Amino acid sequence: MGMGNLQRMAMQMQQDMARIQAELETATVEGTAGGGVVTATVTGKQQLVGLTIDPSAVDPDDVDMLQDLVVAAVNEALKSSQELAEQKMGAVTAGLKIPGLG
């Protein structure tokens, strides 16, 4: 493979990765807990952008339960967000081991 081809491939990969980074900033995924009484919304860049708590989950005598539900919902959403990012980046890198991306 010639140097020109490698440069073109690298340039294309860089453009694809920039496009995917932009997509991940606007993509959202959700995680839920407690049968849906707590829902966390996270971007593809692992930023929490929304948290919905059904009033039925609010029990002043059991704040620990609500805290646990929030943590579980956020963690589920973060995991989904990371999987989305890996899936999108994997399509570009096609199994290449690039420091900082894998």
Q: What is the pLDDT of residue 32?
A: 97
- Indicate which CATH number applies to the domain containing 45: 3.30.1310.10
Residue 100 domain-assigned (yes or no) = no
Q: How many domains does the chain have?
A: 1
pLDDT in tens, 10-36: 888 888 888 998 999 999 999 999 999
pLDDT at 55 over 60: yes
Residue 98 domain-assigned (yes or no) = no
Q: What is the DSSP string of the chain?
A: --HHHHHHHHHHHHHHHHHHHHHHHH-EEEEEEGGGTEEEEEETTS-EEEEEE-GGG--TT-HHHHHHHHHHHHHHHHHHHHHHHHHHHHHHHTT---TTT-
Structural domain including 64 reads 3-93
pTM (predicted TM-score): 0.77
Residue 43 domain-assigned (yes or no) = yes
